[in-house]
Each structure stands twice: as C-alpha cells, then as structure tokens.
A and B are shown apart, each in its own frame.
Chain A
C-alpha cells in the first residue's frame, strides 16, 4: 500500500515547489526589469547632459550611470535565462535530450554574461563602456537565438503534452468502436468509422505542422536578428495552427462520443 502512496505523496509535496520555482523566477525577472528601467532612465538623462555640456562633472555622472545600467542589463538577462531554465524543468513534453540541449545553451549564455559583468566593473572611461557594450552587441545574435530556441522548445513541449492526451483518447475511442462493432446498424457503424478516420487525419496534419516547426527552430541558430525575427514569428504561427488541429480533432472526438451514446 505504501509503495503506491509514496509517489503520490511525493508529487503532492513537491509539485507545488517545482511550479513555485518558475513563479519565483518570474517575479525576480519582473523586479530586475523594473530596476533596469529606472537605471536606464537615469543613464539617458546623464548621457544627454554630458553630450550637451561636455563638462567633467557631467562626464563623471554619465560614466557612473552607464556602468550601473550595463551591470543591471546583464543582471536582467541573467534573470530571464534563469526563468527559461525553470520553465524547461517544469515542461513534461520535452525529451531529456532536448532539455539538456536547451539548458546547455542557457548555461553558456549565463557564463558569457557573468564574464561581461566583470568587464563592466572594470570600466574606467566612456570609451571603455562603449567597447564593452559592443562586446554584448556583437554576441547578442547568439544570445537571442539561444533564448528563442528555448522558447520554441517550451511551446512545442506544451503541445506535445496535449498531443499525448489526444492520442490516449483516440486509442480509447478506437478500442471502444472496434470491440462493439456488432452493436450498431451498418450505416451507423460506417459513420463511426468515418469519424475515426477524420480524427486520425487531423492528428496527422498536426504532426506534419509540428515537424516543420522543429525544423524552423533548428534554423534559428547562426542567423542574424532580422532572420530570427521572421523565423520566430513563423514558429509562433505554426504552433497556433498545430493547436487548432488538436482543437478540431477534439471536436470530432466529441461528435464520435455523442454518436456512440445513441443506438440510432
């Protein structure tokens, strides 16, 4: 009895903790974003003053605010990557191989940002600040592709969970229709078979769409920001279309269930 209850007890105890991790990470990310907005506003004011007056005081203020903004920017990006990491841990639809791949991307980017933060601390002039910022700018395409691949992977993982439930329901429906083949009149039986075929077709269309989106997700790597924007938008559209196929299929399953309920 205990060996049946133990997994249930563990799930009840730890599932809230797991989901609380991404909720906590999201709150931290929002907080870091608020701090970043404040520091960015201060940086802009100081920069404009320096560019206008070019005094030593304005230069010193601009340098201080620039360093603070750049440090906070790195902190914000790190918080966002940690949020993605928590979301990956919670997603039941991603395979272990995929999860490891995405988490490797995240680890690499977190390591880059930590190194970049150390460079920001050692900035001594506005020229240093500009050069250090350019390091991040030149790396940003890789950072962005890692983030977007992870987001795409999470979305496809969510769809995969829904598709698994769909497959279970479809298998149950097929078993029910096959087992009780002699109960219904021939015309009714033909109707039930057509519904099953319709549901299987839409499931196949869903799978084709998801396979295409996985291909797009792989192509995000090694592209510039503009191409990433286009591919990422295409992936989001494709995820929406795949969801619609599942929704249509569940509707047909409902029709099949209603047909099975009645003799005529």
Chain B
C-alpha cells in the first residue's frame, strides 16, 4: 500500500534555471589579486645564511681559543733545603815534606805524560819516489 506523502521520487528533475543574457566579455574570469605577503629574494636568503654561518664560526673559534689560552697551572717545585758542605779535616801527613814532595812529583809526572807526543813529526822518515821511470 502506498503511504501518502512519505517519499518523493528520487528521479525528480531539477527546476530549470532561467538563462539570463550576459554582457560581452563577462565570461573572462578576473585574475586573482596578488597575495599581500612579500617574498624574500633567494640571494638575500643565501647571504643571510652565509653571514649566520660565519658568525657561528667566529664564535666557535673564539670559544676554543679561549679554552686553549687558559693560564698554565704553575706547579711550585719544592726548593731543596741547602745542606752544609762537609768539612774535611786535614790529616797529619798534609804538612809533611814527604807528602808535599809526592804531591809535587805527581803533578810534574802528569804534566810530562800529557806533553809526551807519541808520533813525533821530526822523526818521520822522508817519503821518496825511488824508481826513475826511464825504462
């Protein structure tokens, strides 16, 4: 059984739209207006990046050199306590004539041995070319 006014048929045709007369050139769509936000040029962006990188480099270099130039830690060496030179007592022989004679002879002997020339140049024999070489 059909229910009155419950459903409308799906295939209902839309009402026709009246066709209005249009002005000449009215079909051209006007261009969109330019966006109000200004664009930064790529060269300027590159320059800003380079400058920022350079600044970062300088700051890092400054920081590292500051780290290296820290004042060295001075370690104080302990100064040795000076000890007195031990005094040596002269023996009873030190003033005896026999000891003084030994001392003098020893010094003279050392000097003589030091002055002795092993290879005396005045004793070198003459070097001669003996064969005449005629035959």
Binding site for B on A (CB under 8 A): 26, 33, 36, 40, 47, 50-51, 62, 66, 73, 76-77, 80, 83-84, 87, 126-127, 129-130, 133, 136-137, 140, 144, 147-148, 151, 154-155, 158-159, 162, 165-166, 168-169, 172-173, 175-176, 180, 183-184, 236, 239-240, 243, 246-247, 250-251, 253-254, 257, 260-264
B38, CB-defined interface residue at 8 Å: no
Give the interface SS of chain B, mostly helix, strand, loop or mixed.
loop
Which of A127, A130, A155, A264 is B89 in contact with, Cβ under 8 Å?
A: A264
Closest to B105 in A: A169
Size category of the binding interface on chain B = 35 or more
Q: Is the CB of B122 within 8 A of A26?
A: yes
Residue-wise interface mask of B (95-135) relative to A, using a CB-CB cutoff of 8 A (1 in contact, 0 not): 00011011101111110111010111011011011111111
Q: Name 24 interchain pairs, CB-CB below 8 A, sorted by A.
A: A47-B133, A47-B134, A66-B134, A73-B128, A80-B126, A84-B123, A154-B123, A159-B116, A162-B116, A165-B109, A165-B112, A172-B102, A173-B102, A176-B93, A239-B118, A247-B110, A250-B110, A250-B113, A253-B106, A254-B106, A262-B90, A262-B91, A263-B90, A264-B88
In the bound complex, what is the Cα–Cα distance between A150 and B113 (angstroms)?
Answer: 22
Give the interface SS of chain A, mostly helix, strand, loop or mixed.
helix
Which of B88, B118, B122, B131 is A155 in contact with, Cβ under 8 Å?
A: B118
5 more A-B residue pairs beyond the given contacts A236-B118, A260-B99, A262-B88, with a C-beta to C-beta distance below 8 A:
A148-B125, A162-B109, A169-B102, A169-B105, A176-B99
